[in-house]
Amino acid sequence: MRVRLLVRTFSELCITAGTLIVLFVVYVMFWTGVEAEGATEGQIDRLRDSWTGAPVATPAPDRARPAAPEEYEPGKPFAVMHIPRFGKDWDWPVLEGTGTGVLKKGLGHYAGTAALGETGNFAVAGHRRTYGDPFRDFPRLRAGDAVVLTDGTTWFTYRIVKAPYRTLPTDIGVIAPVPDPVEAGAAGFDGPGRYLTLTTCEPEWGSSHRLVVWAHLDATQPVTDGKPRAFHS
């Protein structure tokens, strides 16, 4: 009798544990995406509302002057990123900071790195999986791919210089003003410039490593000129 009771109790515990595991998987794979969709759409809507009626500048690459990093408000959106390689509907807000709460709402700008379009390294992180999977297709990026951002007045088109690079989370040189990863020559940059770094977790469902791509500012144009050709290339 006691053995039967133990078996039944163990079975019930297994069923409960299994149910909790299934619910957790559903939360991670589905519900975080639902949450992220609402959050990111809200951030983009907020940005576009703030841009309505704003004066339009016409900067060239050598005199572009977006907000300085210290002027970005922590946890708040300041730009929208588009990566044509990921599809015409791929657009994500870029917020200041890379904390857990920030990355649930979109992509995060590494505090202390350069401002959008400025000399230095404009570095951005994003989830590979969960919370909308913004960088799920990160390994598909290739040299020459465009990464296009707007701050509401200007389009900034960056061009990726090589396929994703795999490194450790401790390799902070990847977001240096002149990207300087542990592996000599991996970034391919040897002097000041207007750079972009994108980072995400590796492997796909883990975080033991990082995937990184670097890009350089290729062109700018005012939003009144329409979308850059990079959207159609």
Domain annotation covers residue 174: yes
pLDDT at 40: 75
Domain annotation covers residue 196: yes
pLDDT at 1: 59
Instruction: For residue range 77-88, list pLDDT tens digits in order.
Output: 999 999 999 999
Domain that holds residue 86: 35-231
CATH code of the domain in which 112 resides: 2.40.260.10
Domain annotation covers residue 73: yes
Q: Would residue 194 show up in a list of annotated catalytic residues for this protein? A: no
- Of 127, 128, 129, 194, the active-site residue reads 127
Domain annotation covers residue 87: yes
Q: Would residue 210 show up in a list of annotated catalytic residues for this protein? A: yes
Q: Would residue 14 show up in a list of annotated catalytic residues for this protein? A: no
pLDDT in tens, the chain (233 residues): 565 655 565 554 545 444 433 333 333 444 444 444 666 777 888 888 888 755 444 444 444 455 667 689 999 999 999 999 999 999 999 999 999 999 999 999 999 999 999 999 999 999 999 999 999 999 999 999 999 999 999 999 999 999 999 999 999 999 999 999 999 889 999 999 999 999 999 999 999 999 999 999 999 999 999 999 998 76
Mean pLDDT of the chain: 84
Domain annotation covers residue 20: no
- Of 109, 128, 194, 201, the active-site residue reads 201
Domain annotation covers residue 26: no
What is the count of structural domains for the chain?
Answer: 1
HEC string for the chain: CHHHHHHHHHHHHHHHHHHHHHHHHHHHHHHHHHHHHHHHHHHHHHHHHHHCCCCCCCCCCCCCCCCCHHHCCECCEEEEEECHHHCCCCEEEEEECCCHHHHCCCEEECCCCCCCCCCEEEEEECCCCCCCCCCCCHHHCCCCCEEEEECCCEEEEEEECCCCEEECCCCHHHHCCCCCCCCCCCCCCCCCCEEEEEEEEECCCCCCEEEEEEEEEEEEEEHHHCCCHHHCC
